[in-house]
Amino acid sequence: MEISTGLIKELREKTGVGIMDCKQALQETGGDVEKAIEYLRKKGIATAKKRGSRTTSEGQIQAYIHAGGKIGVLVEVNCETDFTGKTEDFTNFVKDVAMQIAATNPLAIDREGIPEETLEKEKEIYATQAKESGKPEKVIDRIVEGKLKKFYSEACLLEQPFIKNPDITVQDLLNELIAKTGENIIIRRFVRYQLGEADGS
């Protein structure tokens, strides 16, 4: 199937992926831009998994100050090479992540970072709420599971909808950058300060 330059350009603008990858994705999906975006996202995840074991010791630390100096974020994102760490795409990604953290105040980068006691407390609250609203015992576990999923999508940075494009998650955004750069990239750590906030909260 012949893919028009216009379609390739449109897909490239939406995903930031290289021309040849965009062309291939459109050929694989019969010229359907939305399906091609999905195809590239899946490919990005596959690439991300393949590169997950490679060492990341380069990258950037970015600071973001918000709300007239009321909220501040420091975030470290690592990649494999100094070259990638200096690119505009990488810099923009780190800035976007810092802005995301300022706006959404995640508890952790991923599920592994959520303390066990926090999870247990959440499960207890959801189970109690379900029981008190008269839900039968057999569906309580399912309700708790559903609410936990929502909790993760708010508490884990990588599972949050991206503030600039809520159709994708921060993980999707990261996978796109991994697919584009061909490197293993990880969000290493972050700290968020809010004026007047007590330590440890």
Sorted by where each starts, the structural domains of the chain and their CATH numbers stand as 5-51 (1.10.8.10), 58-110+156-194 (3.30.479.20), 115-154 (1.10.286)
Token pair recorded at residue 28: 């694989």
Give the CA radius of gyration of the chain.
20
pTM score above 0.75: no
User: Are residues 79 and 57 in contact, defined by beta-carbon separation less than 8 angstroms?
Assistant: no
Tell me what percent of the residues of the chain surpass a pLDDT of 70: 91
Q: Which of 185, 179, 158, 180 shows the shortest CA–CA distance to 170?
A: 158
Token pair recorded at residue 87: 């690119």
Residue with tokens 């508890």: 107
Report the C-alpha gap between 143 and 197 in whole angstroms: 33
If you average pLDDT over every residue of the chain, what do you get? 88
Report the C-alpha gap between 178 and 44 in whole angstroms: 7
User: Are residues 74 and 189 in contact, defined by beta-carbon separation less than 8 angstroms?
Assistant: no
Cα torsion 146, 150, 153, 155 to 10°: value is: -120
32-65 pLDDT, tens digit each: 988 988 888 777 655 556 665 666 789 999 999 9
